[in-house]
Structure 1
Amino acid sequence: MINKLKIWFRAIRPFSLTGSIIPVTVGAALGSSYTKFNLEYFTITLLAVIFLQASINLLSDHDDFINNIDTPDSYGSSGVIIENLLTVKQIKRAGLILLTLGCLIGSFLAFKKGGFILFLGITGALGGYSYTGKPLMLKYRGLGAPLVFLLFGPLMILGAFYIQTQQINITSILISIPLGLLTTAILHANDLRDIYHDQKSGIKTLSIIVGRLNSEKIYFALILSPYIIITVLALFGLIPLLSLICLITLPGALKNIRSIYMSTDSCTCLKTIDQDTAKLQAQFGAILIVSIILSYII
């Protein structure tokens, strides 16, 4: 039983779940500076987006396998299907169950908070399914990165902020950009690492479309731009000056850049670059959350 749970835990790729946990928490923390923080709605919102992202991870594993994108030589998936730990049907069924649960919770939030949340929920559910699901299969058409930015940046932060405050303001929009970029960097790191294997499968990720050199430049921009944006927002007083403490994670960003810069097509040193990028996003986001909370306590 314990081993089975470990396999399922591996299948949902828990390291990537900071992609949804961080933006929702940022949105809710920012909202708490405008109104009384509602823990109940925050918890429900967090549960909905975790279910959504876990479903995306499982369904993309399923779709990547049946489309011959994931192979024993590739690194992109959780590997549970490749290693015969779980079947294709089990992964698809679990993904659809989690997607359904996320939609049900989202429907409750929409009932309580109105049409804007319903719009965001429908966009999130359809976008998540269409990441690799038919007929759109956006990841395979080079549209995975903009979709991830939309879902895990503006959509989640604005949704969490609105659920707390019943409003949207310029700060909530601007602060969603650096978080969206860092989360997109997790996906892009994965695509950059897997260029060789993805090319053999015949799909068109953004990294394949623009080429490796330009793909590296995009990655550099995705993880460095958030530091510039946060600095500008803090200096102009749109977010607390204390948020500049996020800059202490810059060495981690530079380390990732150095890893990519020193890598080659045959290099295995990028095997964990997506996990390293997720760690950077989590550290940056956690510090941002703490800085927002502390600024309204002190």
Structure 2
Amino acid sequence: MATATQWVSGTRPRTLPNSIAPVLVGAGAAHHIDGFNLTWSLLALAVSVALQVGVNFANDYSDGIRGTDANRVGPFRLVGSGAATPKSVRTAAFAALAVAALAGLVLIVLTGRYWMVLFGAVCIAAAWFYTGGRKPYGYSGLGELAVFVFFGPAAVLGTLYVQTGEITGIGIGGAIAMGSFSTGVMIANSLRDIPTDIQAGKRTLSTTLGDKDSRRLYLALVAIPFLITLAIGLRVPLALTGFLALPLAVLGARRVAKGHKGHDLIPVLRDTGLAMLIWGLAIPTALILG
């Protein structure tokens, strides 16, 4: 039976900035046009984090029963390690997705944007079928695209729109930046797992592009948010504080550029995720104060 510490590890805490930062950016964009609501933002954050935890448990379950995690080099896996039964991890995934659904329904009722029930249903389905079901799209090279869409435009613009009913230029810029950061985390993860994914028959963008081009893509993705920082800074000069995230992004970029492999790439996930979180704190703070 898995310990409490192992269950916490199974949520993959290092990936949680992917779900927190986009909501912060969306809330900041809402505040910039005087549409911010604290309660609604907290509910959006609950939805995002619960979805992230749900998809992490779902991946642990699905990859574990397929044997993809048997020889994986990376964070602790509940099913792959044998610490927890597949059934218990699947139940944990469903529970987290149920929390996301409940928080989302409350948010929809409070805002009156009932059409977003469909939006929420798509997000939950995407979380499960990433590696779940008979034909998971995460095994077909579409995982990175989904990460960009759901942790970028969906999370940022969803948070902005549900509060204001509008989509703004700053919101779009923030969505692209968050999607780029999140996809960078994903590429760093799949770059590390190229050998084991090929062995397990799992197709990712990195197994398709290969090692060298995956590294180039990662470097491009982590550069994009800082170009957007300059663009937002033209309207809100205080947004240039987004460059506070640059040192952490550089730490990850150096490891990738120097050709590190296996365990040596694990810190890249942490550094990229933290860079994303710092950027996701700096930009909305600038939008509020600016």
- TM-score w.r.t. structure 1 length? 0.90
Deviations 1:125-176 (A, max 9, x none): 1111121111441111110111011101011111111222122223322221
Deviations 1:184-230 (A, max 9, x none): 11111100111111111111100000111111111011101111122
> Given the alignment of the two structures, is residue 257 of structure 1 paired with residue 277 of structure 2, yes or no?
no
**Structure 1 residues 1-298: aligned runs within 5 Å:** 4-35=3-34, 37-71=36-70, 73-113=71-111, 114-235=113-234, 237=235, 240-264=236-260, 268-295=263-290
Whole-angstrom CA distance in 1 between matches of 2:116 and 2:276: 25
- The amino acid of 1:100's aligned partner reads A
Contact 1:231–1:244 (Cα < 8 Å) also in 2 = yes
Whole-angstrom CA distance in 2 between matches of 1:246 and 1:256: 17
Q: CA deviation at 1:36?
A: 5.1
Q: Higher helix proportion, which one? A: 2
Contact 2:58–2:90 (Cα < 8 Å) also in 1 = yes
**Count of residue correspondences:** 289
Cα pair distance change 1:249/1:92, threshold 3 Å = same
Q: CA deviation at 1:264?
A: 5.0
- The amino acid of 1:294's aligned partner reads L
- The amino acid of 1:250's aligned partner reads L
- The amino acid of 1:215's aligned partner reads S
Identity of aligned residues (%): 29
- TM-score w.r.t. structure 2 length? 0.93
Q: CA deviation at 1:47?
A: 1.0
Unmatched runs of 5 consecutive residues or more in structure 2? none
Deviates more, 1:19-28 or 1:35-44: 35-44
Q: Which structure 1 residue ranges, 4+ long, deviate > 4 Å from structure 2?
A: none
Aligned-partner SS, 1:249: helix
Cα pair distance change 1:167/1:271, threshold 3 Å = closer
Deviations 1:54-82 (A, max 9, x none): 000000011111111112x4234532223
